[in-house]
Amino acid sequence: MLIIIFLYLYLATNNYYIVDARITSISQDQEDLDLERQLKLINKPPRKTIQANGYIVDCIDINKQPAFDNPLLKNHKIQLKPSFEVTSIESTRLSSIGIEEDLCPAGTVPIRRTTKDDLIRAKQLPDKNISILNNDIPGRHYAGLKLNKDGSHYFAISGIIDTYNLPVQNPDQITSAYIYLSNGGSENDKNVIMTGWEDPETKNWWVMLQNKSLGYYPEVLFSNLAFANLGGWTGMTSTPTGIPSPPMGSGHLPDNNLLRSCYIRQMHFQIDTSKNLGPIKDVYAVPFKDSSCYGVQYEGWNDEIQGFAMLFGGPGGNCGE
């Protein structure tokens, strides 16, 4: 239809065609300028540049990293390491990715350089692509395990998520899995963090991988997350109205087979003490799902490698609203 209209305008009057072409060109040029401005703001001047895995990684002065563009962090003092140690979570060694940690000079942090294509892809992501157990959104479904002991305050949550590259039929579809803590407030005052450990001294929320501290979200960024009263491990799918839901997890319903079903293992959380706990079914956590298209199966404690684990997922399809 757009092609037909365009040809009609061209045949009707050359003036229409010229004006239309100029507007399109200006609009595209303006968008390119906007993207270039964003790139200049995001990509700070590096002290060193590294080529790694097909990407450009810049070594940025730790005090000039993009996070400090946020006015809330104007007077923030960087915390170089957490005041606590995480030592009880065991995991097999992951394949090496990224860069060696000592390639950047002291006093700098490695940041992958953002490209114009990155910004374009970010703009194409659907709105509200992540929402914590919001069943009011049409086409959204969950299957997982949620912490539910009344009166508990949660200060940390963790786990290792099995991942699959599942096909989707529509660019607006989502299939994902995540770990979260939330204060459970209203939509206008709800603070959520996707996996983290709260530092008991600074109240910053640290992200850890294989017992290593990757970085943290400063406490000042949250309006209402001194502690969390909700949390969990879940799979989630989302699809536009009228389009069948995509698969979740491995695309198979849980069937006691870790080689077939998607899983989250080494599931831990912390309450008021610093001791790591596993999700004890019916005491601290309960399985949930909202559609027959997906399932969840809590395995409890397995062994030192799997730890506390759950299976989740399903084929998707016409799951209902």
Please list the alpha-helical segments (H only) found in the chain: 2-12, 14-42, 116-124
pLDDT digits (tens, 9 = 90+) for 215-251: 887 877 776 666 677 788 999 998 988 899 999 999 9
pLDDT in tens, the chain (321 residues): 333 323 323 233 333 333 343 344 447 788 888 999 999 999 999 999 998 778 899 999 999 999 899 888 888 888 888 776 655 444 444 434 455 556 889 899 899 999 998 888 777 665 544 556 666 778 889 999 988 776 677 877 888 888 888 888 887 888 988 888 877 655 554 555 555 566 667 777 777 766 677 788 787 777 666 667 778 899 999 898 889 999 999 999 999 888 889 999 988 888 866 667 777 776 677 888 888 899 999 988 888 888 899 999 999 999 876
Long-range contacts of 99-105 (CB under 8 A, 24+ apart): 99/50, 99/52, 99/57, 103/50, 103/59, 104/48, 104/50, 104/59, 105/47, 105/48, 105/59
**pLDDT score of 5:** 29
Residue the block writes with tokens 């991942």? 163
Amino acid at 270: Q
Amino acid at 147: L
Amino acid at 319: C
Angle at 48 between CA 55 and CA 207, to 5 degrees: 65
**pLDDT score of 259:** 83
Residue 137 CA to residue 245 CA, distance in Å, equals 13
**pLDDT score of 44:** 94
| The residue count for the chain | 321
What pTM did the predictor assign?
0.67
pLDDT digits (tens, 9 = 90+) for 151-194: 677 877 888 888 888 888 887 888 988 888 877 655 554 555 55
Beta strands (DSSP E) in 148-227 are 156-161, 174-182, 192-193, 196-198, 205-209, 212-217
**pLDDT score of 2:** 33
**pLDDT score of 160:** 86
- Cα–Cα distances (Å) from 32 to 29, 43, 208, in that order, read 5, 16, 37
Question: Which one, of 291, 30, 41, 26, lies nearest residue 141 by Cα?
Answer: 291
* Phi, psi values for residue 305, rounded to 5°: -80, -45
Residue 275 CA to residue 142 CA, distance in Å, equals 29
**pLDDT score of 288:** 84
Q: How many CB atoms lie within 10 A of CB 184?
A: 15
Q: Report the share of the chain in percent with pLDDT over 70.
A: 71
